[in-house]
Structure 1
Amino acid sequence: MRKILIGLSIGLLAVLTACGPTEKEEVEKETPVTGENEQVEKTDANTADGVDEKELKDTLAEFPEGSPERIITTSVPLAEMLDLLDVTPVGVPTSTNPLPANFEKIDQIGSPMQPDLEVVTSLTPDLILGAESLRSTLDKSLEGMDLPTAYLPTDSFDDLKLSFKALGTYFDKTEEMDKVLNQLASKENELTEQGKGKELPSALLVIGTADSFMVMNDESYVGSLVKKLGADNIATSVLKVKDRYSPINMEDVVVADPDIILVLASGDHGASEDAFKKEVESNDTWTKLSAYQNDKIEVLDYGVFGVTSIKNAEKALTDISTYFYE
């Protein structure tokens, strides 16, 4: 177990979403956590795909009237949604996260937080789509420019569904929209049935930055997936952390003693393998945890869990369920 732990390399989500996640490296994957696999029940306000109607209405209110034809998106998750809906923008963000292959030849407008205003102006957009988590930053960057904007949430699993449905509705792409959302709903229902009657393990979700290690609560992308399964994320239920990403307090973690630890890891992001090795060697508190002693420390694939993605959401939910629905 010690060899496995020392060999972990921790993935980076900048102030993150999801990644998502979350654009995670540019700061971009509900009801309380349920107990013992008690599933979150959909209210009457929810549609069959699980998207809340009021939230959908509020999100659609972000969009300007009319039918924009020259769209710029500053968000990789939103660019992916446009591609799935067969809506082609005139500008996409510059990012280390992968853009849809169909958009490779589209003009890149620079950072999601600070786009190149000359490029943006030259593309004469009639709508700019951005991530809700970057609203204040992007508004400041675009200050003085008379450009219609719409900001959509992309940090969690439910955020992705909500924003995808809003885009599909707004651009009248209901066929493409329903295909994706129905498939996701089918997978959620399948996993709900699979988890019925099972007592799920409690979990600690860990991520590393370049200089520290943090826990992820339910509002993070990975946290939203764990919550969707009905499992207990101790960051929310016991540690009571308010931010998506909070410093680890090992004394509190030992008291909570999670059954399983999920580590978001990537050799190309965040804390290095050596940094985590030093953390373990300098703090033997890790060895006191049941998850350590029972060989229940699992490394998550950054490619699946590190960036919020409607395209990969079904795989992310399915893959993470294997740690709980054994």
Structure 2
Amino acid sequence: MKVKKYITSIVMMTLSLALTVGCSSSETNDKQTNEVNSGEEVVVATSVAVTEILDKLGVKVSGVPTTSYDLPESAKDATEVGSPMNPDMEIIKSLNPTVVVSVDTLGEDYKKTFTQNNIPSEFVNLTNVDGLKETVKTLGERFDKTDKANEILKELEDKEAALSNKEKNDEKVMILFGAPGSVMIGTNKSYVGNLVQICGGNNVFSEGSSSYIQVNMEEIIKANPDKILVMMHALPEETKKTVEQELAKDSWKSINAVKNDKVIYLDTEYFGMSANLKAIEALDILGDILYEQ
């Protein structure tokens, strides 16, 4: 009899525990469902530029890229989801996002990874200032932040209008894109090239089939730029050494920019691969460089 009573007690405890867990799980699922039904978004940003745009719009992010760059204060409690070029899909899926916002320049295979993992995603164009403006407009509409988006757009457009009234600068400029172990030339399809164009600068290699083209010394000597703007991708100290070693070669000694010490290393905080909300400050800095006396 005692044994039967003991077994009955164990069964009742087990059922009670199962019901408790079941209720807890149900409450969690109900909470997630209520959040979606109430319109609350779970947003993941996979690049620094996208994170900054969403912050400026007032959109809360639950996931952010792993980066050495400072992220907005609003993202301090967000989960790191890995590098911008190779985010961790398992971490992203664990956040159960309603949307992941990424840049569209990392190729079709990158986009397919999100589709294959059934992760809702949106890809934005941040290759130039026009793309930045379109991204701000699109995300403003997507998250019902059109008033804030319009404020940002007006600030950008006012800056562009002010610069368009300046007299064009005929001084020849070349953009040198440095990465550890290699250098390339930036065309006007690159973000920095686009900024030079907006400032009225004369990029001697404005044309090109892509944002960056291979260095051709014969063409560089022929163009003979007066200033060289150096943009650096990641590891700035290591990249700077690579560029300095390149410019120390005899083939560069006849170039006006090198002879006259007019090689300018751009601040990575303002001049990167992607257009971002520091574009206005970047245009001011670039204007001072291009129009210095």
- 1:322: how far off? 1.6
Query: Which of 100, 115, 120 in structure 2 is aligned with 1:128?
Result: 100
- Kindly indicate whether residue 198 of structure 2 is the aligned counterpart of residue 228 of structure 1: yes
- Kindly indicate whether residue 271 of structure 2 is the aligned counterpart of residue 325 of structure 1: no
**Counterpart for residue 207 of structure 1:** 177
**Counterpart for residue 104 of structure 1:** 76
Deviations 1:266-318 (A, max 9, x none): 8933744543443334x222221122333332221111112535331100011
Deviations 1:198-239 (A, max 9, x none): 4431211012221122111111111110111232212234xx
**Counterpart for residue 210 of structure 2:** 243
One-letter amino acid of the counterpart of residue 203, structure 1 = V
Of stretches 131-140 and 267-276 in structure 1, the one that deviates more from structure 2 is 267-276
**Counterpart for residue 55 of structure 1:** none
8 Å CA contact retained: 2:99, 2:122: yes
* Structure with the bigger percentage of helix: 2
Identity of aligned residues (%): 32
Give the secondary structure class of the aligned counterpart of 2:270. helix
**Counterpart for residue 236 of structure 2:** 269
- 1:169: how far off? 2.0
Distance in 1, Cα, partners of 2:273 & 2:245: 27
8 Å CA contact retained: 2:179, 2:233: no
**Counterpart for residue 308 of structure 1:** 274
**Counterpart for residue 298 of structure 1:** 264
One-letter amino acid of the counterpart of residue 279, structure 1 = E
**Counterpart for residue 12 of structure 1:** none
One-letter amino acid of the counterpart of residue 261, structure 1 = I
Distance 1:174 1:276, change over 3 A: closer
- Kindly indicate whether residue 222 of structure 2 is the aligned counterpart of residue 255 of structure 1: yes
Give the secondary structure class of the aligned counterpart of 2:264. strand
8 Å CA contact retained: 2:179, 2:242: no
Deviations 1:122-167 (A, max 9, x none): 2111212111112523333334322322110112222211101111
Distance 1:181 1:284, change over 3 A: same
One-letter amino acid of the counterpart of residue 219, structure 2 = D
**Counterpart for residue 90 of structure 2:** 118
Distance in 1, Cα, partners of 2:275 & 2:105: 15
**Counterpart for residue 250 of structure 2:** 284
Distance 1:78 1:179, change over 3 A: same
**Counterpart for residue 146 of structure 2:** 174
Bigger Rg, which one: 2
Q: Any stretches of 5+ residues in structure 1 without a counterpart?
A: 1-65
Give the secondary structure class of the aligned counterpart of 1:251. helix
8 Å CA contact retained: 1:203, 1:234: yes
Q: Any stretches of 5+ residues in structure 2 without a counterpart?
A: 1-37
Distance in 1, Cα, partners of 2:47 & 2:170: 35
Query: Which fold has the larger relative contact order, with Cα–Cα distance below 8 Å and residues 6 or more apart in sequence?
Result: 1
One-letter amino acid of the counterpart of residue 263, structure 1 = V
Deviations 1:161-206 (A, max 9, x none): 110111112222122112221112112222222x23x443121101
Give the secondary structure class of the aligned counterpart of 2:106. helix
8 Å CA contact retained: 1:68, 1:127: no
8 Å CA contact retained: 2:124, 2:135: yes
**Counterpart for residue 88 of structure 1:** 60
One-letter amino acid of the counterpart of residue 250, structure 1 = M
Distance in 2, Cα, partners of 1:266 & 1:93: 17
Distance in 1, Cα, partners of 2:255 & 2:88: 48
Distance in 2, Cα, partners of 1:145 & 1:276: 40
Q: What's the TM-score, normalizing by structure 2?
A: 0.78
Give the secondary structure class of the aligned counterpart of 2:285. helix
**Counterpart for residue 30 of structure 2:** none
CA RMSD of aligned residues (A): 2.4
